[in-house]
């Protein structure tokens, strides 16, 4: 699991006037809205006696109150009021917990889980079609995986499995016709252009069948982004029908992943077709989930030597390479093994940006251990920019 990235914590519609608990990167967080409607995210662990803030309530000071002794924490994680001491009394300087930057986009709450300053953060991936309600109709789908996030992302961009795992996407006998036409990649993203030969599209009361012949060449573009561990799958059904599945994949812990997916379509945009679109998207996740939950090991193997890859796996190779680069050169991977001996005895927290700004502050909680970088960043070869814009 990697720190220093944006992740989706929850659907926007779920966080109303009560605090909500979410688990990400193996830690608990509380989300709460202030009076202006802004969502805030704090570590869920009260530094007084370990109360869970998400079981508390929001207050007139725009704080979240701990349910145990009522201490009130503001959006920056600072205690503003200690009821047992009374109004106007001094607050201990160390009465502060980690607070994380938040953004609401695409009907989702995004939280930056790390201590990088704003200018160094990779951006939340673009999804312009979501904003373009005139031309695209969205439906939301959620899926919970028994699988590690790195395997889930790899599955989402893997074209070769479609002929076997998804009857709606292809035929086993056409597996050698499916082709990766092009791979593009930047510092924190990759995309590839592919041609597949799927069966006729089902659904929409049989109407979809009329629009494309069986096994007609169909252009599919999967992309991945490190921020949000997002996968974007653009399917050009024919010359005028397109759909995109955009999903943010949040590591709940090492073995569990929660996908927040929005499917948009530029055809049959009336609400009556939403139910079918949701059902088919969810079914595709289920077909993948059955396979991913049984993979061994559950994580991507430590060494590429432990698996055998072929030419058709090259786009997955791009994902692995970019992920590894951020582990080996930047040191963003959480060392979960180092935390195991402390299980049940000690809580850790994900470092927030305030920790870098206040290096001498005596925070009550220790931060999660990270695996130290093992190599220095290589300079980009001449003529190849380190980062280019996603296509
Ligand atoms: S444990 Fe939170 S106020 Fe005491
Ligand atoms: Fe799949």
pLDDT of residue 44: 98
Atom of ligand 1 nearest to the CA of 70: 3
Instruction: Name the residue among 109, 103, 160, 126 with its Cα closest to residue 232.
Output: 126
Q: Are 124 and 228 in contact (CB under 8 A)?
A: yes
Q: Are 223 and 231 in contact (CB under 8 A)?
A: yes
For residue 371, whether the previous peptide bond is cis, meaning omega lies within 30 degrees of 0, is no
CA 387 to ligand 1 centroid distance, Å: 46
Structure-token pair, residue 130: 């979501």
Q: Please name which ligand lies nearest the alpha carbon of 49.
A: 1
Q: Which of 68, 82, 85, 364 to mutate to test the pocket of ligand 1 (most atoms within 8 A of CB)?
A: 68
pLDDT of residue 385: 45
The runs of H, that is alpha helices, within 340-389 are: 353-357
- Distance, CA of 60 to CA of 70 (rounded, Å): 13
CA pseudo-torsion sign 375, 379, 384, 388: positive
3-class state of residue 29 by DSSP: strand
- Distance, CA of 389 to CA of 391 (rounded, Å): 6
The H or E element that residue 183 is part of is: strand 179-185
CA pseudo-torsion sign 137, 143, 148, 151: negative
pLDDT of residue 380: 52
Atom of ligand 1 nearest to the CA of 82: 3
Structure-token pair, residue 137: 């109709």
- Contacts by 337-344 with C-beta closer than 8 Å and gap 24+? 338/369, 339/368, 339/369
* Ordered domains of the chain (ranges, CATH): 5-120 (2.102.10.10), 128-323 (3.90.380.10)
Q: Are 9 and 41 in contact (CB under 8 A)?
A: yes
Structure-token pair, residue 164: 């076997």
List, as one string, the DSSP characters of 185-210: E-SSEEEEEEEE-------GGGGGGG
DSSP summary character for residue 381: P
Q: How many residues does the chain have?
A: 391
- Distance, CA of 195 to CA of 187 (rounded, Å): 25
CA 279 to ligand 2 centroid distance, Å: 15
DSSP summary character for residue 314: H
CA 270 to ligand 2 centroid distance, Å: 27
Q: Please name which ligand lies nearest the alpha carbon of 157.
A: 2
pLDDT of residue 308: 85
pLDDT of residue 197: 87
Q: Please name which ligand lies nearest the alpha carbon of 66.
A: 1
- Distance, CA of 128 to CA of 233 (rounded, Å): 14
Structure-token pair, residue 166: 């998804």
CA pseudo-torsion sign 170, 173, 177, 180: positive
pLDDT of residue 213: 76
Structure-token pair, residue 203: 């659904």
DSSP summary character for residue 273: G
Q: Print pLDDT tens along the chain (391 aa).
A: 999 999 999 999 999 999 999 999 999 999 999 999 999 999 999 999 999 999 999 999 999 999 999 999 999 999 999 999 999 899 999 999 999 999 999 999 999 999 999 999 999 999 999 999 999 999 999 999 999 999 999 999 998 898 899 988 888 887 888 888 999 999 999 999 999 888 777 766 677 676 777 788 889 999 999 999 999 999 998 889 999 999 999 999 999 999 999 999 999 999 999 999 999 999 999 999 999 999 988 888 777 677 888 888 889 999 999 999 999 999 999 999 999 999 989 999 999 999 999 889 999 999 999 999 998 876 655 444 444 434 3
CA 154 to ligand 2 centroid distance, Å: 9
Nearest-CA residue for ligand 1 atom 4 is 69
CB atoms < 10 A from the CB of 314, how many?
A: 12
pLDDT of residue 386: 44
pLDDT of residue 198: 82
The runs of H, that is alpha helices, within the chain are: 128-131, 149-157, 162-165, 274-292, 314-328, 336-339, 353-357
């Amino acid at each position: 699991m990697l720190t220093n990235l944006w992740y989706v914590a929850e659907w926007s519609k779920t966080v109303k006037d009560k605090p909500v608990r979410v688990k990400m990167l193996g830690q608990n967080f509380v989300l709460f809205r202030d009076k202006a409607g802004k969502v805030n995210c704090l570590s869920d662990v009260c530094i007084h006696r370990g109360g869970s803030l998400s079981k508390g309530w929001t207050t007139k000071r725009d704080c979240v109150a701990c349910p145990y002794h009522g201490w009130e924490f503001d959006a920056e994680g600072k205690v503003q009021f200690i009821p047992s001491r009374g109004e106007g009394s001094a607050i201990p300087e160390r009465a502060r917990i980690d607070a994380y930057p938040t953004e609401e986009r695409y009907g989702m709450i995004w939280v930056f889980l790390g201590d990088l300053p704003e200018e160094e953060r990779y951006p939340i991936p673009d999804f312009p079609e979501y904003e373009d309600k005139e031309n695209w109709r969205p439906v939301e789908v959620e899926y919970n995986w028994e699988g590690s996030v790195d395997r889930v992302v790899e599955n989402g961009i893997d074209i070769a499995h479609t002929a076997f795992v998804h009857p709606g996407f292809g035929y086993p006998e056409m597996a050698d016709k499916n082709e990766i036409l092009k791979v593009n990649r930047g510092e924190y993203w990759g995309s590839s252009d592919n041609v597949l030969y799927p069966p006729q599209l089902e659904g929409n009361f049989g109407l979809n069948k009329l629009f494309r012949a069986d096994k007609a060449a169909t252009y599919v573009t999967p992309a991945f982004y490190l921020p949000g561990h997002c996968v974007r799958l653009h399917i050009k059904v024919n010359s005028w029908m397109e759909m995109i599945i955009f999903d943010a994949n949040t590591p709940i812990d090492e073995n569990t992943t929660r996908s927040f997916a929005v499917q948009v379509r530029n055809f049959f945009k009336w609400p009556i077709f939403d139910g079918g679109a949701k059902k088919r998207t969810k079914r595709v996740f289920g077909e993948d989930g059955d396979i991913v939950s049984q993979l061994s090991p559950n994580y991507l193997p430590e060494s590429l030597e432990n698996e055998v890859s072929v030419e058709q796996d090259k786009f997955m190779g791009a994902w692995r390479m970019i992920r590894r680069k951020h582990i080996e050169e930047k040191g963003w991977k959480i060392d979960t093994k180092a935390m195991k001996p402390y299980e049940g005895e000690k809580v850790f927290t994900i470092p927030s940006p305030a920790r870098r700004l206040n290096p001498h502050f005596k925070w009550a909680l220790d931060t999660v251990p990270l695996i130290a970088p093992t190599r220095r960043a290589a300079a980009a070869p001449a003529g190849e920019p380190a980062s280019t814009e996603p296509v």
